[in-house]
Amino acid sequence: MTRKPAANGDSVRAREVTDSLRRQVREELPEVAQISDQDLQAKAVEAWAYALAHSSFKSIHDIPPAGNPDVNEAKRGDQTDHLRGVTRLAIGIAREMGAAYPELAIDMDTIIAGGLLHDVGKAWEFDPVNRKRWKSSQRHFGRPSIRHPAYGAHICLTVGLPEEIAHIAMAHSGEGELLLRSLECMIVHQADYTFWNTLLAGGQLKPETVSPDKRRYVLDRPS
């Protein structure tokens, strides 16, 4: 009988979620203060604090400004610019569509929390310690073992966030094609794609990180 090779690679050792980490998250994502439900606001902070404490990142600023690891990476900024930009775009869509069609009854708290948390799973998928482990033993773990949408849903549910927010983390990206998105999830999804596609068309993504299906935007581009 052949033995399965031992899985190798280190895992991240979790840190404690402290009040100073919670304060830091509030500073890094100031839009969280716009969530009117105080319990939802506290749990949104908790989700990012918990995700950071279970990663080797000390801050959301340390996570690169990319859609996936090494894919669609902005020339400048960090992950807070993406989260805040998507949240503000989603608020704009919700306000304008809500003004034109009040019967949509868009839940603004869900939009804000969903925008700030849709990529909370990137603390896992982008973590260099995890990426090294997956790369060294892809056969054992997969690469990645879990993408950021699924890990983000796990984080949301772990800290007690409502199902509607976990759904936005889960379905904002390609995974959402396998199910039907909620109204607020569709808005965050559109804001997310608008963010990356605007940077792409404006020449603000690092060319070497642009995915093959969009490569034409960066080939032969006048500098």
Stretch that binds Fe ion, among 30-38, 105-113, 118-126, 202-210 (CB under 5 A): 118-126
The distance of closest approach from Cβ of residue 53 to Fe ion in the complex, given in angstroms and rounded to an integer, is: 21
Q: Name the minimum Å distance from CB 142 to Fe ion.
A: 22
Report the distance separating Cα 191 and Cα 86, nearest Å.
Answer: 5
Residue type, position 4, single letter: K
Q: Which of residues 180-199 bind Fe ion (CB under 5 A)?
A: 192
- CB of residue 82 to Fe ion, shortest distance in Å: 6
Q: Is 109 in the site for Fe ion (CB under 5 A)?
A: no
* Closest CA relative to residue 12, chosen from 50, 60, 47, 68: 50
Cβ atoms 159, 47 nearer than 8 A: yes
Report residue 122 as tokens. 């990137």
Give the shortest CB-38-to-Fe ion separation in angstroms.
26
With 0-12 / 13-18 / 19 or more C-beta atoms within 10 angstroms meaning exposed / middle / buried, residue 2 is exposed
Interaction between residue 119 and Fe ion (CB under 5 A) = yes
- Stretch in the footprint of Fe ion (CB under 5 A) among 56-64, 101-109, 111-119, 140-148: 111-119
**Contact positions toward Fe ion, by CB under 5 A?**
119, 192
